[in-house]
């Protein structure tokens, strides 16, 4: 953390049992996505002709069953989680960095700068995202990178609006005037006096962005312009699973449970992080 409140926030986070549990679970999941596929007997696109659509714990080696093409569901879920998490984290990071910087500067500068910066946001808002993604797939081809660019390009807009509103309100507080009179530069005021004071809503919104990005990715994959087979993502696993709900409910249950666990952990973590960053709540 570069905001000068890193160590104390970490201490507070460490004392928060929910946060520690969530971090632990998320850490284990990340570790599993990285190491899991290598330790298991099957590859994500390997077809087991003798065990197609096998329920969990029935076929040898397929702990959580297989899909209708006989691919190991655990391996595919871990693979999907890896891609989904990577896209979600990257898109959230983009929204944090661009959105916060953009919104804070617009709100702090007010007036004409603010008007131009926010009209730019409005223009991007009014672009249909699906249309934009289709153009991107033409340029870059389908794949995780295209999805990341597509989500990143739009993900920061709402963040910028939220931050701008907060910054506008902060601008009228006397400590900002005091910092200006004290001779601090704009960059310093933004980094030291504006951004730390709007971290609460930012963190909360960022934790809402994570699951949202995973869902947008699954929506785009469902439309056929997202992550494509044989690559797996939580989105297309859930979509495939939903199609087999009546005959093979585990194909939906396994990736959906995984998605829920991740979203749940991020929400709790966000809440704890918000508290940890506010000295009044420590």
Partner 1 sequence: MSALLEIRALTVDFLAPRVVRAVDGVDLALGPRERLAIVGESGSGKTQLLLACTGLLAANGRAMGSVRFEGRELLGPGDAAAPARGSGIGFVFQDAGGSLTPHRRIGDQLVEVAMAARGMPKRHACDESLAMLGRVRLPDPGSTMNAYPHELSGGMRQRAAIALALAARPRLLFADEPTSALDVTVQAEVMALLDALCRDLGMALLLVTHDLGVVAALAGRIAVMYAGRIVEEGDTDELLANPAHPYTAGLLASVPSLSALDDGELATIPGAPPRAGETIQGCRFEPRCPRRRERCRVEGPRLEAGGTSLVACHYPLDAGRSP
Q: Which residues of this chain interact with partner 1, rule CB under 8 A?
A: 4-5, 110-111, 172-175, 177-185, 188, 192-193, 196-197, 199, 277-280
d(CA 186, CA 96): 19
Q: Which is nearer to partner 1, 25 or 191 (CB)?
A: 191
Q: Which is nearer to partner 1, 157 or 277 (CB)?
A: 277
Min separation Cβ 104 and partner 1, Å: 14
Min separation Cβ 117 and partner 1, Å: 15
Min separation Cβ 280 and partner 1, Å: 6
Q: Which is nearer to partner 1, 244 or 278 (CB)?
A: 278
Q: Which residues does 145 contact at the CB level (< 8 Å), separation at least 6?
A: none
Write the DSSP assignment of 187-236 as a string of letters. HHHIIIIIGGGGHHHHHHHHHHHHHHHHHHHHHHHHTTSSS-TTS--HHH
Min separation Cβ 32 and partner 1, Å: 36
Write b or e for each residue in 197-213: b if 16 or more Cβ atoms lie within 10 A of its Cβ, otherwise e.
Answer: bbbbebbbbbbbbbbbb
d(CA 262, CA 241): 18
Min separation Cβ 112 and partner 1, Å: 10
Q: Which is nearer to partner 1, 174 or 246 (CB)?
A: 174
Min separation Cβ 102 and partner 1, Å: 19
Q: Which is nearer to partner 1, 230 or 279 (CB)?
A: 279
Min separation Cβ 174 and partner 1, Å: 4
Q: Which is nearer to partner 1, 5 or 20 (CB)?
A: 5
| CA dihedral sign, ordered 47, 49, 54, 59 | negative
CA distances from 188 to 112, 115, 184, 232 (A): 21, 22, 6, 44
Residue 133 contacts residue 225 (beta carbons within 8 Å): yes
Largest CA distance in the chain: 76
Q: Which is nearer to partner 1, 133 or 163 (CB)?
A: 163
Take residue 259 and report the two structure tokens written for it. Answer: 């998605």
d(CA 39, CA 34): 10
Q: 255: which DSSP letter?
A: H
3-state helix, strand, coil in the chain (%, to 5): 75, 0, 25
């Amino acid at each position: 953390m570069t905001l000068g409140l890193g160590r104390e926030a970490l201490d507070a986070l460490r004392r928060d049992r929910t946060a520690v549990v969530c971090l632990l679970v998320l850490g284990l999941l990340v570790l599993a996505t990285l190491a899991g596929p290598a330790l298991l007997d099957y590859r994500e696109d390997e077809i087991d002709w003798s065990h197609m659509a096998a329920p969990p714990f029935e076929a040898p080696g397929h702990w959580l069953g297989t899909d209708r093409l006989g691919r190991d569901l655990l391996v595919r879920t871990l693979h999907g989680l890896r891609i989904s998490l990577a896209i979600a984290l990257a898109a959230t990071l983009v929204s944090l960095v661009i959105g916060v910087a953009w919104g804070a500067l617009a709100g702090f500068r007010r007036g004409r700068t603010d008007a131009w910066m926010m009209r730019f946001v409005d223009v991007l808002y009014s672009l249909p995202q699906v249309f934009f993604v289709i153009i991107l797939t033409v340029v870059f081809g389908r794949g995780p990178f295209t999805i990341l660019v597509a989500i990143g390009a739009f993900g920061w807009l709402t963040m910028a609006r939220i931050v701008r509103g907060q910054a506008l309100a902060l601008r009228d507080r006397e400590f900002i005037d005091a910092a200006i009179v004290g001779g601090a530069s704009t960059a310093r005021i933004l980094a030291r006096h504006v951004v730390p004071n709007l971290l609460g809503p930012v963190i909360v919104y960022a934790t809402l962005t994570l699951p949202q990005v995973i869902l947008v990715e699954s929506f785009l994959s469902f439309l056929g312009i997202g992550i494509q087979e044989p690559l797996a993502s939580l989105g297309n696993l859930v979509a495939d699973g939903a199609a087999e709900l009546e005959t093979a409910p585990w194909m939906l249950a396994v990736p959906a449970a995984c998605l829920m666990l991740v979203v749940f952990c991020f929400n709790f973590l966000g809440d704890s992080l918000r508290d940890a960053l506010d000295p009044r709540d420590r």
